[in-house]
């Protein structure tokens, strides 16, 4: 009986009565979790406004991924927009601006039914990740102009500190990049429910403007470019790429925010931030200078997406460069003067440098000088100071136009026939008189129709001499949404829009729309920005170490050593006091292992959770930086995973990806197992994470794997088992993680060799390890190498659980694949080369098919 009842509700939900075009009857939609009644407009369009696509992200849900909306069986009104999300420096206003803002809006032809399966245009608004700037656009005109051929969807997502607070504390007890997760939730919502409205869940085109277009770039590159079949085309309108930083680099924001909201002394500052009422919280939802920058001018953009190792595995420039993105047809372009709305009103080249440093604080003096040379004093612009044109052109290229070109050229490498680029050059006299040329996103009314993007002023040129560009622009966009090609249904008089080729684009200009070749000079400038991208998007790199930081980095291992030594002394003293007077002499290794275990637990938990460490470790951004190497590398983990030496499982939050099937943590130190297990439970991985009580030497590991039934062999001799795998070419693991472990295995070459054998063909070895100093490559390295040797003499490996400072792990890794003629791909990068703890980090892929 109950079963039948459930079934009938289900049927009603899925095959809910199709809404007929009937002007006297408002349309109703049933979404299983809620029923909504929308508006039926005179023009043959239904609108469903202000539907919840996620629960209200308040209270404990602050700084967390969006959750499913609650179920409500009452018919709800969807005839008015929900409030937009509260942004940087804003106040709540009833019904208009709120923290409770995760609403979505659908426009559909009134005639569309669940059988219609029309293409879906999903629009992601912009606002610099600081506000919801393009909310509540009206889809009526594009639907009408498409011949009732599509559905149009808009939504709000969290921005500012509520959307993009980054800290290890958030990673541990919340979610990074919540604003981007909101967007994914909305995209998934559309995928799940749009059929009810008459849309085709397999024909969704995402279109972002500005930060929304930056977001589209993030969704193309999400999870390393993993295709989850969420969309089949992308429109990238004036893609905004501000500085992208690591979590460590953003901790300063967390500190300022907690201070300004009265949470810095709370026992758990993140809980405190969740408890604050919104008015108090907003006191800290403001901008401050980046470390290394000044407050004049303040950075244009402050709360931003960060490298989180999963959704955002690394820098956008690198992702597109390396082809780590989803290959779908792309429409991408920019305005002639992208920077004019944001650039500093500079009076000198020094002003330009200060503006750039404040927005991209890792740029060095030399790099700033290069920028000045590339963008010299130009023609003065009306109502602006002498160097405004230089600062505007440089900022426009750096932050919008060159990223857009990169998306186009990268996508064209894979699908040359499915990439179209444009430059908007719609001339408006009042913009020209104001000195801002053709500014950022000026074309929005031309895409959606006059009046659809907010009320136009009566003097707007779109109502007079620029009216002619509207149908031209709108129909290219409609055509792309319908056919994934802007030409198929283009406007009668509009020219053919050729693909990117070697750098060709369509100029969208009233009465003068035509193809044009991108000038050589512009392409050269983009090469410059590509070169600078590492400093602009990336973590601090070694050349940024000041002498002071470098010296302190040399002494840092000494401090760690001292800490471990103290733990050793303590353990010895305690043992003697317990009456085991001779233990230090009779069982030195046992005591040393115990001391190291204790040291490591405090050391690693302090590192990862930022609790005040007993002996303070100096935070020279650099060495701290080594933990920043881990998330982007671990994001590549998938399938059956071997986690070598997980310790207490501090890396586990990075292993939540659904692409991971099972994880085996090989941890020889039994004392850590309880904590490791507890961590697996708290991370929700208890049914995925298995602890193997063993090391990774073959003699230890192989029997443990046999016990788990992971090896199907007729022998128990580890060497024979490996030989067998070698001969058959089989393997056990899809991914093996080596994070700070290879320094301490007894026979590294042997161990790496057997790990290599255990990898399946096509499997990945993910490596983050510190290595011997490569003294030949960088200035100061001879000294750093001498320091390594010195710490060795002081007994580093004795106190540090057999860890060795001077291993050439990279070479050992390379050699391991020699019998197969090398790795399929061997991407190791070196970091912190001038310090006494240089690192290698990267992904090695074994040859053969998966």
Ligand X SMILES: *[C@@H]1O[C@H](CO)[C@@H](O)[C@H](O)[C@H]1NC(C)=O
Q: Is 98 considered catalytic here?
A: no
Q: Is 471 in the site for ligand X (CB under 6 A)?
A: no
Cα–Cα distance measured from residue 723 to residue 732, given in angstroms and rounded to the nearest whole number: 14
The sheet carrying 839-845 orders its strands as 689-692, 660-666, 639-644, 733-739, 759-770, 839-845, 825-831
The interface with ligand X within residues 731-750 (CB under 6 A) comprises 746
Q: Is 384 in the site for ligand X (CB under 6 A)?
A: yes
* Terminal CA-CA length for the chain: 47
Q: Is 24 in the site for ligand X (CB under 6 A)?
A: yes
Q: Which is nearer to ligand X, 43 or 376 (CB)?
A: 43
Q: Which is nearer to ligand X, 168 or 594 (CB)?
A: 594
Cα–Cα distance measured from residue 592 to residue 795, given in angstroms and rounded to the nearest whole number: 12
Q: Is 192 in the site for ligand X (CB under 6 A)?
A: no
Tell which residue, 333, 769, 759, has the closest CA to residue 508: 333
Q: Which is nearer to ligand X, 386 or 815 (CB)?
A: 386
Largest CA distance in the chain: 96
Q: Is 286 in the site for ligand X (CB under 6 A)?
A: no
Q: Is 253 in the site for ligand X (CB under 6 A)?
A: no
Q: Which is nearer to ligand X, 382 or 614 (CB)?
A: 382
Stretch that binds ligand X, among 208-216, 463-471, 514-522, 729-737 (CB under 6 A): 463-471
Q: Is 25 in the site for ligand X (CB under 6 A)?
A: yes
Q: Which residues contact 337 (CB under 8 A, 6 or more apart)?
A: 392, 393, 396, 436, 437, 438, 439, 440
Give the H or E element holding residue 762: strand 759-770
Stretch that binds ligand X, among 67-75, 527-535, 544-552, 604-612 (CB under 6 A): 67-75
Tell which residue, 299, 303, 269, 272, has the closest CA to residue 285: 303
Choosing from 256, 272, 583, 815, the residue that interacts with ligand X (CB under 6 A) is 256
Shortest distance, position 596 Cβ to ligand X, whole Å: 5
Choosing from 94, 115, 502, 714, the residue that interacts with ligand X (CB under 6 A) is 714
Is the previous residue joined to 297 through a cis bond, with omega within 30 degrees of 0?
A: yes
Stretch that binds ligand X, among 72-80, 94-102, 172-180, 535-543 (CB under 6 A): 72-80
Residues 503, 504, 508, 512, CA torsion sign: positive
Shortest distance, position 427 Cβ to ligand X, whole Å: 6
Q: Is 123 in the site for ligand X (CB under 6 A)?
A: no
Shortest distance, position 239 Cβ to ligand X, whole Å: 25
Give the H or E element holding residue 75: strand 72-77
Q: Which is nearer to ligand X, 506 or 817 (CB)?
A: 506
The interface with ligand X within residues 786-815 (CB under 6 A) comprises 801-802
Cα–Cα distance measured from residue 644 to residue 664, given in angstroms and rounded to the nearest whole number: 8
Burial code (b: 16+ CB inside 10 Å, e: under 16) for 752-785 equals bbbbbbbbbeebbbbbbbbbbbbbeebebbebbb
Shortest distance, position 124 Cβ to ligand X, whole Å: 19
Shortest distance, position 230 Cβ to ligand X, whole Å: 26
The interface with ligand X within residues 73-102 (CB under 6 A) comprises 74, 76
Q: Which is nearer to ligand X, 311 or 741 (CB)?
A: 741
Tokens of 174: 């919340």
Contact indicator for 307, 631 with CB cutoff of 8 Å: yes
Q: Which is nearer to ligand X, 74 or 366 (CB)?
A: 74
Tell which residue, 108, 124, 109, has the closest CA to residue 218: 124
Q: Which is nearer to ligand X, 45 or 408 (CB)?
A: 45
Shortest distance, position 145 Cβ to ligand X, whole Å: 12
Choosing from 67, 192, 259, 295, the residue that interacts with ligand X (CB under 6 A) is 259
Q: Tally Cβ neighbours within 10 Å of residue 847.
A: 15
The interface with ligand X within residues 536-565 (CB under 6 A) comprises none
Choosing from 72, 202, 295, 716, the residue that interacts with ligand X (CB under 6 A) is 72
Choosing from 455, 546, 589, 849, the residue that interacts with ligand X (CB under 6 A) is 589
Among the listed residues 210, 391, 533, 553, the single catalytic one is 210
Shortest distance, position 452 Cβ to ligand X, whole Å: 7
Shortest distance, position 141 Cβ to ligand X, whole Å: 7
Report DSSP state, residue 778: S
Q: Tally Cβ neighbours within 10 Å of residue 830.
A: 16
Cα–Cα distance measured from residue 82 to residue 211, given in angstroms and rounded to the nearest whole number: 21
Q: Is 140 in the site for ligand X (CB under 6 A)?
A: yes
Q: Which is nearer to ligand X, 324 or 353 (CB)?
A: 353
Shortest distance, position 719 Cβ to ligand X, whole Å: 13
Tokens of 323: 């082809």
The interface with ligand X within residues 481-540 (CB under 6 A) comprises 510-511
Q: At what angle are helices 520-537 and 365-374 packed, to 10 degrees?
A: 160
Alpha-carbon separation of residue 505 from 409, 435, 472 (angstroms): 12, 25, 15
Give the H or E element holding residue 537: helix 520-537
Contact residues for ligand X (CB under 6 A)?
Answer: 20, 22, 24-25, 41, 43, 47, 49, 70, 72, 74, 76, 138, 140, 255-256, 259, 345, 347, 383-385, 465-466, 468, 510-511, 589, 593, 596, 714-715, 724, 746, 801-802
User: Which residues form the catalytic set?
Assistant: 210
């Amino acid at each position: 009986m109950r079963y039948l009842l459930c079934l009938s509700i289900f049927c009603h939900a899925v095959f809910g009565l199709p809404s007929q075009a009937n002007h006297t009857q408002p349309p109703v939609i049933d979404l299983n979790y809620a029923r909504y009644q929308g508006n039926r407009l005179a023009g043959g369009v239904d609108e469903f406004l202000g539907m919840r696509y996620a629960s209200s992200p308040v209270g404990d849900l602050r700084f967390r991924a969006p959750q499913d909306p609650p179920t409500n069986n009452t018919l709800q009104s969807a005839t008015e927009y929900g409030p937009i999300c509260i942004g940087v420096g804003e106040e709540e206003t009833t019904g208009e601006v709120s923290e409770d803002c995760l609403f979505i809006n659908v426009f559909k032809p009134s005639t569309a039914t669940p059988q219609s399966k029309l293409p879906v245009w999903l629009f992601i608004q912009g606002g610099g990740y600081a506000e919801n700037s393009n909310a509540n656009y009206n889809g009526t005109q594009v639907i009408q102009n498409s011949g009732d051929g599509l559905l149009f969807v808009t939504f709000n997502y969290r921005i500012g500190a509520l959307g993009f607070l980054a800290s290890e504390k958030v990673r541990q007890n919340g979610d990074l990049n919540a604003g981007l997760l909101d967007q994914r939730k909305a995209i998934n919502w559309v995928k799940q429910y749009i059929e009810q409205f008459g849309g085709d869940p397999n024909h969704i085109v995402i279109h972002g403007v500005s930060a929304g277009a930056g977001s589209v770039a993030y969704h193309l590159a999400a999870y390393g470019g993993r295709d989850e079949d969420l969309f089949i085309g992308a429109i990238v309108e004036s893609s905004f790429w501000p500085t992208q930083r690591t979590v460590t680099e953003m901790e300063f924001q967390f500190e300022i925010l907690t201070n300004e909201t009265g949470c810095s002394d709370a026992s758990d500052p993140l809980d405190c931030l969740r408890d604050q009422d919104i008015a108090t919280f907003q006191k800290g939802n403001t901008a401050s200078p980046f470390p290394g920058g000044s407050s004049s001018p303040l950075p244009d953009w402050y709360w931003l997406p960060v490298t989180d190792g999963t959704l955002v595995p690394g820098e956008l420039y690198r992702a597109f460069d390396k082809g780590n993105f989803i290959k779908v047809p792309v429409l991408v372009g920019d305005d002639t003067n992208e920077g004019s709305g944001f650039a500093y009103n500079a009076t000198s080249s020094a002003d330009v440098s200060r503006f750039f440093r404040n927005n991209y604080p890792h740029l060095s003096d030399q790099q700033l000088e290069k920028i000045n040379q590339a963008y010299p004093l130009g023609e003065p612009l009306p109502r602006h100071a002498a160097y405004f044109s230089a600062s505007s052109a440089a900022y426009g290229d750096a932050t919008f136009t060159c990223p857009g070109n990169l998306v186009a050229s990268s996508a064209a490498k894979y699908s040359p026939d499915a990439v179209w680029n444009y430059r908007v050059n719609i001339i408006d006299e009042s913009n020209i008189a104001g000195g801002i040329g053709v500014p950022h996103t000026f074309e929005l009314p031309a895409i959606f129709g006059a009046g659809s993007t907010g009320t136009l002023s009566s003097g707007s040129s779109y109502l007079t001499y620029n009216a002619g560009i509207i149908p031209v622009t709108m129909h290219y966009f409609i055509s792309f949404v319908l056919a994934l090609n802007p030409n198929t249904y283009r406007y009668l008089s509009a020219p053919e829009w050729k693909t990117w080729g070697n750098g060709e684009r369509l100029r969208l200009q009233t009465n003068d729309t035509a193809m044009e070749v991108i000038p050589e000079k512009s392409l050269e400038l983009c090469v410059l920005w590509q070169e600078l991208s590492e400093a602009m998007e990336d973590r601090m790199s070694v050349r940024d170490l000041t002498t002071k930081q470098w010296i302190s980095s040399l002494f840092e291992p000494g401090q760690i050593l001292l800490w471990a030594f103290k733990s050793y002394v303590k353990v010895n003293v305690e043992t003697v006091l317990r009456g085991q007077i001779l233990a230090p002499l009779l069982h030195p290794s046992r005591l040393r292992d115990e001391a190291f275990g204790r040291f490591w637990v405090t050391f690693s938990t302090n590192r990862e959770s930022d609790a005040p460490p007993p002996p303070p470790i100096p935070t020279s951004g650099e060495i701290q930086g080594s933990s920043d190497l881990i998330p982007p590398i671990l994001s590549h983990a998938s399938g059956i995973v071997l986690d070598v030496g997980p310790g207490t499982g501090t890396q586990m939050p990075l292993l939540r990806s659904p692409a991971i099937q099972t994880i085996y943590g090989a941890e020889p130190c039994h004392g850590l197992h309880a904590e490791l297990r507890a961590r697996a439970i708290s991370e929700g991985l208890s049914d995925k994470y298995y602890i193997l009580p063993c090391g990774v030497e073959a003699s230890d590991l192989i029997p443990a794997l046999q016990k788990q039934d992971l090896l199907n062999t007729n022998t128990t001799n580890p060497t024979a088992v490996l030989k067998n795998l070698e001969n058959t070419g089989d393997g056990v693991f899809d991914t093996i993680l080596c994070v700070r472990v290879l320094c301490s295995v007894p026979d590294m070459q042997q161990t790496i060799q057997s790990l290599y054998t255990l990898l399946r063909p096509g499997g990945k070895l993910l490596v983050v390890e510190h290595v011997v100093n490569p003294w030949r490559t960088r200035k100061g390295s001879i000294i750093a190498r001498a320091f390594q040797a010195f710490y060795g003499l002081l007994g580093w490996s004795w106190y540090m659980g057999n860890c060795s400072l001077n291993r050439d792990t990279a070479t050992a890794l390379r050699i391991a694949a020699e019998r197969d003629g090398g790795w399929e791909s061997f991407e190791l990068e070196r970091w912190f080369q001038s310090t006494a703890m240089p690192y290698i980090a990267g992904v090695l892929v074994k040859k053969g098919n998966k």
